Amino acid sequence: MERKRINSSKIRSVGYDERAQVLEIEFTNGQVLQYLRVSHETHRRLVASPNAAAYFEDNIAEDYTSRRI
C-alpha cells in the first residue's frame, strides 16, 4: 500500500485501501499499524485534520481493530 507523508508530530505517513477499508499508519517511531474497516470519510478527515495525531487519538486508536505489520 502506498502511503503519503503528512505533517504530524507522531505520524509520518498514511495510506488507505478504499476497497478493503484498511487504513495504514506509519508512526515517527517506525511502527506501522493497519486499522481495519475504516471508512473513506474517516481517512479523509484524518489527512485533512490540522492536528492528525489528535484526530487519530480521538477517532481511530481505540475505535478500530489494528494489526502490526
Q: Where do the domains of the chain lie?
A: 3-68
Residue 1: pLDDT band with limits 50, 70, 90 = confident
Query: Mean pLDDT across the stretch 41-66?
Result: 97
- Predicted local confidence at residue 45, as pLDDT: 98
- Predicted local confidence at residue 54, as pLDDT: 97
pTM over 0.85: yes
Write the pLDDT tens digit of every residue in 11-53: 999 999 999 999 999 999 999 999 999 999 999 999 999 999 9
- Per-residue CA distances from 61 to 11, 27, 44, 67 (Å): 12, 12, 16, 11
